[in-house]
A and B are shown apart, each in its own frame.
Chain A
Amino acid sequence: MSVGESSTPLGQVRGIGSANHGGEHWIRERLTSAALLLLGLWLVVSLLLLPRLDRLTLTEWLQAPSGAVPMALLIVIAFIHSVDGLKTVVDDYVHDEGSRLLLHGILTFAGIGAGSLALFSLAKIAFGAN
């Protein structure tokens, strides 16, 4: 279906753009940034409010739902936002389509891989590492 005069402004950007997926990537970067504004401040304030930064204190903090749940959200959203951001940099500076797709693939793999390690570590702490 071609983009005709009857299409809406949203319909004109869906599926196109420099990375061929219109405005969705752009919108997700902003939504995750708003979430990270809250979660990033939560992390800094939480660390500053802890009486000490030794392993026992950190473990107790992350075993409580008030620590574990925001931390899980922070991990997932920070990795999504980071991979999106790095892909944007690749889109802007890598001219060759093949290299661009390869780098996007590497970023996706590395992001999901490292993010999973972080989530697994958090789960292990939250459910009782000793």
Chain B
Amino acid sequence: MTRNPDRPLSPHLTIWKWGPGMLVSILHRVTGGALAVAGLGIFTWWLWAIAAGADEYQKFVECILWEAGGVPLILLVLVGLTWAFWQHTLSGIRHLVMDTGAGYELRTNRLFAVLTIAGSLFLTALTWALLMGVWA
């Protein structure tokens, strides 16, 4: 392996001009990392708490609803992870489409990128509205 270690293996954020395409690309990675670590972490903790019995599940619920100065921090993390789920899902669909060789035209590519961001924000709001029974 004769590679200059001073040169990056992958393009780094600092050398890209910011735009919808690169924003969605890096968001795909960031949201994927968050879902893999925090998402699966809380998901496994949740399943473990259900299995562990009523007392442990009650503790889990109390942890989720824990407030710091009136702000439910863990609940906000869950809202953030919901957004990460929708963003990663939509930009994932975008990547599957692009894997077929489609959607590389500048205008189309930009439009799809913007749509994933708008879509993820809308679906996050919709999910939590339904979850909290706002329209139920």
A contact residues vs B (CB 8 Å cutoff): 18, 30, 33-34, 37, 40, 44, 47-48, 55, 58-59, 62, 75, 78-79, 82-83, 85-86, 89, 91-93, 95, 97, 114-115, 117-118, 120-122, 124-125, 129-130
Contact = CB atoms under 8 A, between A and B. Distances in A.
B70 interface: no
Q: Is the interface of B mostly helix, strand, loop or mixed?
A: helix
Contacts of A122: 47, 51
Contacts of B130: 48
Interface stretch (B15-23, B30-38, B103-111, B114-122): B30-38
Interface in B66-102: 85, 89, 92-93, 96, 99
A45 to B, nearest CB: 10
B33 A121 contact: no
Q: Is the interface of A mostly helix, strand, loop or mixed?
A: helix
Given A30-B99, A37-B89, A82-B36, A92 B10 contact: yes
B51 A124 contact: yes
B24 to A, nearest CB: 16
Nearest to A125: B51
B50 A82 contact: no
Nearest to A48: B130
Contact of B48 (A33, A34, A55, A117): A117
Contacts of A86: 33, 36-37
Contacts of B36: 82-83, 85-86
A44 B54 contact: no
Given A37-B89, A40-B85, A117-B44, A85 B32 contact: yes
B8 to A, nearest CB: 8
Nearest to B6: A95
Interface in B34-58: 35-37, 40-41, 43-44, 47-48, 50-54, 57
Contact of A40 (B37, B47, B52, B89): B89
A55 to B, nearest CB: 4
A95 B93 contact: no
A59 B48 CA distance: 12
A93 B10 contact: yes
16 contacts: A34-B96, A37-B92, A37-B93, A44-B85, A44-B127, A55-B50, A79-B40, A83-B36, A95-B5, A114-B40, A118-B47, A124-B51, A125-B47, A129-B51, A129-B52, A130-B53
